[in-house]
Amino acid sequence: MSYHFFVGNDNGNSEHDLIVDGTLIQQPNVNCAVDELPWSEEQVPEGFIQRLQEQLVVTVDSPAARPGMYYVGKFALESGEILDNLQIGIDLKCDMDLPVINTLAQIAAVAVQKAYEEERSIPDHVDVEVDMATALPVTQHTDETAAKFEKRFTTGVHHITVHLGIRRVAVNIVFPFVKVVPEATPVIFTLQKDAEGKWREGEIFQEFVERYEIEKKFNGNFFKEKRILHVDIGDGSTEYPITEGNKFLRQFVHGSHHGAGYAIEEALDEFNRLIHLPNSPRQFFSDVLKNPKHKYHARAIKTLKRPLESQVKQIVQNVKRQITKARNEIDLICVYGGGSILMRPLLNPLLDELCVEREMQLLYIPAAYAVPLNAMGLDAFVRGKIYEALKNKAAQPA
C-alpha cells in the first residue's frame, strides 16, 4: 500500500493539532519512552483501528529522533509514565525530538487506518509520501531554524512501527518537501477560504457580524486586503504578526513568552495541593479546565484566576506595542489559539475597548475554531499555489 498525504501540522506546547489527508487530529502534545508493549496476546488488532489515536504506541527508527518505543498523545498522558513535553519558554521546537516523533506517529496511524478502510484487512506494510506545512513560534522562526526543522523531516526515510496489540504494521514515511512558516501567519488563508477553496462563511463569523451589525452577506472575501494584527495565544507563547492581504509583514515580527501555560504552571502547585496529589502534569490540568463536568473543574478555575489576569495584562501591553509600531494602521485584531478560550472573559472586554479607541474591529474567534485554526491554515497553505511554487523552486538545480 502506498499513499500521498497533505499535512497541515500545528505542534503546540500543550496540544498537537494536525490535519492529515483531510482528517483533523487533536491530541495532547506529549509522549513517553517505554521498554515494552502494554498489551497481552489476547488483544484483537482490528479493535484498535477506529480509536488508534487514543491508544497509539509506536516504535521509531528515524534519522531525526532518538530510536525507541513510545506511547504518544492521550495514551501517554493517561499511562502514569514519566512524560516528555515541550518546556514552556525554554525548548526550541526545531531541536526537540518530541514534535518529530509525535508527527511521524500520527501520520503513520492515519496511514494504517486508511489502508484498513480500503482493504478491510490489516496491512503488513504501508509507504507514505508527505507534503507538509508546519510552523515555529515567531520568536523562534528564522531562516536557519526553519531550514533546520525542515531538514529533520526531509532527510532520509522514517521507519515507524505501529503496534496493534502484538500485531505490527511497518510504515515508511518520506517527505520530499516541507515548509516551515512563522506561527499564526497561515491563518489568513483559512479566514478567507474553506477546504473546498470557496469563500468561507458561517458561524465562525457570526459574533463578528452581529457585533458590527453587518447586514450584507458576509464571507471571507472581507479579509482579502485587510491589514490584520493576529493575537495567537498558545500555552507557552503569544504571537502578534501583522498580515496584509496574503502577505506576512516581516517588519512587524513580534512574539512574547506569555500564554495560558504560564498561568497554569503558576497555579499548578496550588491545584495539586487542593486535590491532594504530590504532582500532576500541566496537560492534566489543561484537560480538567476543558471539562466543566470534571470533579476538579471548579478548583482548577479558582486557582487559575489570578495568574491568568497577569498574563492577560501582559498580552494587552504587547498588542498595544504592535499597534503603536504600526501607527494604528490596523483594520482588525484577530484573536485565537487555545489560550484565547480560557482568557476570553478577561481579554475580550479589554481588546474591545482598545479597538473602539483606535478605530479598528475585533474578531475574537469562537471556541470551536480557536484551537484548530492554525492547523486549518497550514492545511490550506500546503494545498495552495504558494506551497506548490516553493516546492517547484526547491526542486530546480541551483
Q: What is the CATH number of the domain that holds 305?
A: 3.30.420.40
**Pick from 182, 212, 244: which residue ends a domain?**
182
DSSP letter (8 states) at residue 200:
P
Three-state secondary-structure class, residue 20: strand
Regarding whether 354 and 256 lie in a shared domain, the answer is yes
* Judgement on whether residues 297 and 345 belong to the same structural domain of the protein: yes
For residue 125, how far is the Cα from the chain centroid? 29
Q: What is the pLDDT of residue 70?
A: 96
Instruction: Please state, in angstroms and as integers, the Cα–Cα distance from residue 329 to each residue in 9, 167, 225, following that order.
Output: 31, 59, 13
Domain enclosing residue 71, as ranges: 2-182
Least confident of 37-46, 69-78, 317-326: 37-46
145, 136 contact by CB (below 8 A)? yes
Q: Which residues, at least 6 apart from 308, have a Cβ–Cβ distance to it below 8 Å?
A: 260, 263, 342, 343, 346
pLDDT tens, 285-326?
Answer: 888 888 889 998 998 888 999 999 999 999 999 999 999 999
Same domain, 135 and 255: no
Inter-CA distances, 385 with 189, 237, 294, Å:
12, 29, 45
Residue 63 has what pLDDT? 93
Q: Are residues 32 and 141 in the same domain?
A: yes
Q: How confident is the model at residue 182 (pLDDT cuts 50, 70, 90)?
A: confident
pLDDT of residue 247: 83
In a domain, 154, yes or no: yes
Q: Same domain, yes or no, for 59 and 194? A: no
In total, how many domains does the chain have? 2
pLDDT at 75 over 90: yes
* HSE-up of residue 180 (Cα within 13 Å, Cβ side): 23
Q: Looking at the structure, tell me whether residues 237 and 210 fall in a common domain.
A: yes
- The mean of the pLDDT values for the chain is 91
pLDDT digits (tens, 9 = 90+) for 378-395: 999 999 888 999 999 988
Rounded CA-CA distance 65/111 in Å is 20
Residue 110 binned pLDDT confidence (cut-offs 50, 70, 90): very high
pLDDT at 209: 95
398 has a pLDDT exceeding 90? no
Q: What is the mean pLDDT of residues 80-95?
A: 77
Residues 122-136 have pLDDT tens digits of: 999 999 999 999 998
Is-above-0.85 flag for pTM? yes
pLDDT in tens, 251-284: 888 888 888 888 988 898 888 888 888 877 777 8
- Let me know: does 171 contact 162? Beta carbons within 8 Å: yes
